[in-house]
Amino acid sequence: MSGLRGTSVIFDLDGTLVDSEPNYFEAGRQTLAAYGVPDFTWADHERYVGISTRETVADWKDRYALPATVEELLAATNRRYLELARSATRAYPEMRGFVELLAADGVPMAVASGSSPEAVAAVLTGTGLDAHLRTAVSADEVAHGKPAPDVFLEAARRLGASPADCVVLEDAAPGAAAAHAAGMRCIAVPYVPAQADSPEFATAGLLLRGGQREFTARTAYDWLVESAALS
């Protein structure tokens, strides 16, 4: 192994490894339309980037005074999302390349996501990323979603890694906050570049302000090696 011995890497899924936000937007738009909210926009959706589906639909229920229960909204949204995810989810090419670089070095890796376990499995299988990412934790499996650190700490536990030895890749401010709260280093790749100045991203060890347009597997790998040498 190169200079990454002892390092583990934990990936957020949606907006970090894969461009799933368009599918989440469409699933949410369809669900809200079915409950009488016809004008949900992409700008409305952006406020939910980085938080769990359960917390998203709970906010919808209050914000739009929906008659359905949180469980009903969650089930409806997840059902629509899974239909979209199975047919069309794109992995970011440079992220796939980064995963493959790390796999070649034997670096332990996990996914920690706000999506449901079924959605995580569907996306990883559909993109082929499950070949290298066999450990996955859903926010549904822990007490609190991001920005709480629970999902990252559980991923570290399953990898048998100390939080201080883990590096998180995240696209959203709540995820960067969760990584910091977990005591983990963070590579931040903002999904919404206009949010790059969010204070949560200031805690990241490497902030790629241009998001996926700026991210390369080699840049991230080289930073990881340098960071591991200093830690």
CA distance 210 to 108: 27
CB atoms within 10 A of CB 32: 22
Task: Tell whether the torsion through CA atoms of 60, 64, 69 and 73 is positive or negative.
Answer: negative
Are 193 and 209 contacting, i.e. CB atoms less than 8 angstroms apart? yes
Q: Which two tokens stand for residue 29?
A: 């738009």
Closest CA to 185 of 21, 6, 46, 18: 6
Tokens of 102: 């790390």
Which amino acid, one-letter code, is at 77? T
**Contact assessment for residue 21 and residue 180, using Cβ atoms and an 8 Å cutoff:** no
Cα–Cα dist 91/18, whole Å: 4
- Residue 154 and residue 207: Cα distance in Å, rounded? 24
Edge-first strand order for the sheet with 166-170 is 136-138, 109-113, 8-11, 166-170, 185-188, 206-207
Tokens of 85: 């995810």
Specify whether 130 is catalytic: no
Task: Just list the catalytic residues.
Answer: 12
